[in-house]
Amino acid sequence: MSKPRLTVWYNTRCPVCNAGIRRQRRRLIEAVKAGRVEFR
Structural domain containing residue 23:
6-39
Backbone angles phi, psi at 31, to 5 degrees: -70, -40
Is residue 20 a part of any domain in this protein?
yes
Is residue 10 a part of any domain in this protein?
yes
For the whole model, what pTM was predicted? 0.48
Picking from 10, 33, 36, 34, the residue whose alpha carbon sits closest to that of residue 23 is 10
Is residue 1 a part of any domain in this protein?
no
pLDDT in tens, 2-17: 666 777 787 778 888 8
Quote the percentage of the chain above a pLDDT of 70: 90
Is residue 12 a part of any domain in this protein?
yes
The total number of structural domains that make up the chain: 1
